[in-house]
Structure 1
Amino acid sequence: MTDVFVVQAQQCAALFRLGRDVEASLAMSELAGALQSAFDQAPPDNQQQWLQILGLMFHCQASQNWLALADYLEYELVQVITDSLSF
């Protein structure tokens, strides 16, 4: 399942980089919902990392900083997913 989350995060980042922010925002929302369910089963430290990156991503979204959001999705979030959900 981790691989699916990684691919979805990378695809979402690509959409933001292409300027398709509405489509990317919907995809990000779906991904965040699925990840929340997965992180609910993770240890508290991993949950904290998830919440931290989620907050940063939502801040970028609110300020419409699509490139920074794409970077968080493609690099930071992927790292948290692979470190925290690979069990």
Structure 2
Amino acid sequence: MSEVAPLIEEARACAGLFRLGRDVEAALRMVDLFDRLAPLFEAAPTHQQQQWGALLMETFSRQQLQDWLAVADYLEYELVALMEHCGQ
């Protein structure tokens, strides 16, 4: 779990930026976070890879709609839960 702990904190910080309306900064940090998470999920079991893919699609869909609170929720709750499960 220690390898994902900093990434979990980054996801929560990014979610906070979206909630504060700092969407440009948050979006840049989110892309960086997703780039750093990709190798973790590439090595994960198939069902976790599928959950990761679905989460990415939902998050980007909400971002396109400029639904910043939904993006924040996906990052803080769904992504964190998936990272915690993957890091075990």
TM bracket, shorter-chain basis? over 0.9
Which amino acid in the other structure matches residue 85 of structure 1?
A: G
Shift of 1:85: 2.4
Could you tell me how far apart the structure 2 residues matched to 1:41 and 1:4 are?
18
Could you tell me how far apart the structure 2 residues matched to 1:54 and 1:9 are?
13
What does the per-residue CA deviation read over 1:40-82, in whole Å, with 9 as the maximum and x for residues that have no partner?
A: 1111111011111111100011110000100000001100100
Report percent identity of matched pairs: 47
Aligned to 1:12: 14
User: Are 1:30 and 2:24 matched, yes or no?
Assistant: no
User: Are 1:60 and 2:62 matched, yes or no?
Assistant: yes
Aligned residues: 86
Which amino acid in the other structure matches residue 40 of structure 1?
A: E
Could you tell me how far apart the structure 2 residues matched to 1:84 and 1:46 are?
7
The correspondence for 2:5, drawn from 3, 6, 17, is 3
Asked if the contact 1:39–1:85 (Cα under 8 Å) also holds between the matched residues in 2, the reply is no
Secondary structure in 1 aligned to 2:7? Answer: helix
Aligned to 2:47: 45
The correspondence for 1:74, drawn from 71, 76, 79, is 76
CA RMSD of aligned residues (A): 0.7
Runs of 4+ in 1 over 4 A off after TM superposition: none
Shift of 1:23: 0.2
| Structure 2 gap segments, 5+ residues each | none
TM-score (norm 1): 0.95
